[in-house]
Structure formats: C-alpha cells, structure tokens
Amino acid sequence: DIQLTQSPSFLSASVGDRVTITCRASQGISSYLAWYQQKPGKAPELLIYAASTLQSGVPSRFSGSGSGTEFTLTISSLQPEDFATYYCQQLNGYPRFTFGPGTKVHIK
C-alpha cells in the first residue's frame, strides 16, 4: 500500500511568512496528488490537483510542485484566513485516495 507522510506536523508562522509543507509518498505516484485545506467544523477545500494545478478560485499565493515521491505546497505570503490544517491526497496508487496525516498551521 502507498502511504503518505507530511512534514512538519505542526507549523507556527506569522502573517506574511512564506510557508512550505512537504508530502512524501512511499512509492512513486507521478503527479497524482491533490492538496486540501480544512478549517475546524468546515468541509475540506481543494487547493491543488495534479500536483501543481491551482483549482479555480484559489488565491495565487498557493502553489504546488513535485512529482514521483516528493511534493510541496507553498503559501507565498501567509494570510489570516490561511490558518488551517492542510492535507495531501494521492489519487492513483492502491488504495486510491489515501490522505497524508495533515499539517496544522497556526499563528506564532
């Protein structure tokens, strides 16, 4: 089974900071990866699919990169509304749609 790990698990940052979250897959998954943001009590929101394609309506400060086994989500300038938990999700391996454990971004 393909497993995803994320680092860091927790991240303290300030408004305006550049933030990078890493997702690693136990096997190569090409570009079959999505990133989601979830706030407490809310539904997940799709940010990125196909590793680097920005979902329509998502601010351009979010970007994704990587392929194979290592992926990154970058927030170029953290905004107050970005404090949330971020998950990567693989879209092709077995079992399909496995999520990473999440990275919680909170205010420093």
Partner 1 sequence: EVQLLESGGGLVEPGRSLRLSCTASGFSFGDYAVNWIRLAPGKGLEWISFIKSKIYGETIEYAASVKGRFTISRDDSKSIAYLQMDSLKTEDTAVYYCGRGVYNSNMYYSDSWGQGTLVTVSS
Shortest CA distance to 6 belongs to which of 92, 105, 108, 106? 105
Q: Footprint of partner 1 on this chain (CB under 8 A)?
A: 31-32, 34, 36, 38, 42-46, 49-50, 53, 55, 85, 87, 89, 91-92, 95-102
For residue 72, the minimal CB distance to partner 1 (Å) is 18
Report in angstroms the alpha-carbon separations of 72 from 7, 37, 43: 10, 14, 22
For partner 1, the closer CB: 16 or 40: 40
36 CB-contact burial (10 Å; exposed 0-12 / middle 13-18 / buried 19+): buried
**Shortest distance, CB of residue 44 to partner 1, whole angstroms?**
5
Min dist CB 38 to partner 1, Å, is 7
